[in-house]
Amino acid sequence: MSLARVYSRALVGVDAPLVTVETHLSNGLPGLAVVGLPETAVRESRERVRSAILNANLEFPARRITINLAPAELPKVGGRYDLAIALSILAASGQLPTEHLAEFEFLGELALDGELRGVAGVLSAAVQARNSGRQLVVPAANRAEVGLVAGCRSGYGNNLLDIFRLLVDGGALPRCPARDAASVAEPRSGYPDLAGIRGQQQAKRALQLAAAGGHNLLLKGPPGTGKTLLASALPGILPALAEEAALEVAAISSAASMAVDLSRFYLPPFRSPHHSATPASLVGGGSRALPGEVSLAHHGVLFLDELPEFSGKSLEVLREPMEAGAITVSRASYRIRYPASFQLVAAMNPCPCGYHADPSGRCRCTQGRIDQYLQKLSGPLLDRIDLVVTVPRLAVEELDTRAPTTEDSARIRKQVGDCRQRQINRAGKLNSTLDGDELEQVCRLNATGRRLLHQAMKKLQLSVRGYHRVLRLARTLADYGECAGVTEDHLLEALVYRGHVWDT
């Protein structure tokens, strides 16, 4: 037989579209041509495949070989097609039976000696292979990652010769090990416990509300008051991810060539990029259009410490994903859409030296320097932040006061989880993502509440977005207090947090 077809999977963002590797042998001068929009690493596969086949003591056909990676309009990147190309050549030359090849999908990069190397984005391919009903064959380095996908028929191999022999003999490949409960425990010891943080009761209250409703939070205050410590405690009070959400998070990490930590599989991600991060590193991009920090924080928290130290361009690119929950990275020949439903938590000093309005009077910043420091925080960005809390310097006496035991992170995580479940049961989503029509249904106000909110809207000059965000936060306050309806007290507390936005 001079024509063979083998299936593989591409990687486009977090999607893994099917790629059919078609190989045809014809008479003519020996040579190998790869077509179907391959980039450099794919074109170079012909040399890796040739050496791998020869070093496996198999015959590389001395004929004209044409390999088509279909569909032709889909860009092909990386060495993930090496194994499929090698097997299609062996099948087209009659060395490998073709009867059962249609039941498999193959991924893997080949070393020159035929060893299989791991590739990125295997988790997305495993999900798609499971849905297609075919068995996925991957390198041994990817076997734990594939095992995360329940119901996926999968196998792995160490080198080309092992897979070739099993396919010829009709044997079964070693199965990728399925994860067990012990491997995905929820270690929270790496996060600070709220019970160990002295004072700052208002900031702790805001932290709990942010966790309960998925709201964006800004902590501001002088250096050394515990802003970063408080933000670092947030993952410890967030409930575990659901199965589908955990797979989405792991798929993004896999697409970014990051190892998937099984011990943290169900934990919401917590990303804390340095303030020197570029716009592309935050939202994604580069030559391969990899996911950025906003996508790596999907279903979790993006923490920006020293917020005004980020460049203005870096901060402004956050506005779209904060609103849409996704980001589109465009290139000349294709567009990639990454999920980016994250919760923003930020911390900042009030001025460049950090001590503006501090009782010590040590601040020497001019008003011009302070204005220049704060001008990177645009109105549209601040308008997307629900809670702004001042974290003051603690008195010496407060350092000796331990937090009550009711504030430990485990207890609060249970309360936050119960609050979130009430929101899911009512609207199928968290309060922070409710749209205008849904808010009208779940935030019915009496005449006094409407009058209060209208007065506040005029006094604080709230935008329509700000008006809706006050309602969402008030609804979370009611849910956290296990109240059926939104009261004037809930509105007043939400307006206090909202009013601080424009004090920044």
Q: Give the pLDDT confidence score for residue 184 in this predicted structure.
A: 56
Max Cα distance, the chain (Å)? 89
Q: Give the pLDDT confidence score for residue 191 in this predicted structure.
A: 84
Q: What is the CATH number of domain 434-504?
A: 1.10.8
User: Do residues 348 and 308 touch, judged by C-beta distance below 8 A?
Assistant: yes
> What is the per-residue burial (b if ≥16 Cβ within 10 Å, else e) of 109-146?
bbbeebbbbbbbbbbbbbbbbbeeebbbbbbbbbbbbb
- Rounded CA separation 188/432 (Å): 25
User: Do residues 161 and 53 touch, judged by C-beta distance below 8 A?
Assistant: no
User: Do residues 276 and 315 touch, judged by C-beta distance below 8 A?
Assistant: no
- Rounded CA separation 68/51 (Å): 20
Q: What is the CATH number of domain 194-425?
A: 3.40.50.300
Nearest to 121 by CA among 255, 296, 291: 255
DSSP state of 12: B
**pTM, to two decimals:** 0.89
- Rounded CA separation 210/204 (Å): 10
Sequence spans of domains, the chain: 3-169, 194-425, 434-504
Token pair in block for residue 270: 């917590």
Cα 209 to Cα 214, 219, 413, 493: the distances in Å are 8, 13, 11, 11
Beta strand segments in 224-363, E: 270-271, 284-285, 290-291, 301-304, 326-330, 335-339, 343-348
**Rounded to 5 degrees, what are φ and ψ at 389?**
-130, 135
Nearest to 144 by CA among 259, 8, 296, 269: 259
Give per-10-residue mean pLDDT for the chain (504 aa).
91 93 93 92 93 95 95 91 97 92 95 95 94 95 90 93 90 82 58 84 94 95 90 93 92 89 86 94 83 95 95 92 90 82 95 85 88 88 93 74 69 95 94 88 87 86 89 95 91 84 52
- Topology of domain 3-169 in CATH is Ribosomal Protein S5; domain 2 (3.30.230)
> What is the per-residue burial (b if ≥16 Cβ within 10 Å, else e) of 166-185?
bbeeeeebeebeebeeeebe
Q: Give the pLDDT confidence score for residue 499 in this predicted structure.
A: 66
Q: Which ranges in 363-435 belong to alpha helices (H)?
A: 367-374, 379-382, 409-427
Q: Which ranges in 157-277 belong to alpha helices (H)?
A: 160-169, 201-213, 227-233, 243-255
Q: Which residues lie closer than 8 Å to 106 by C-beta, 6 or more apart? A: 6, 7, 8, 83, 84, 87, 136, 137, 163
Q: Determine the angle formed by the axes of helices 464-480 and 201-213, rounding to 10 degrees.
A: 100
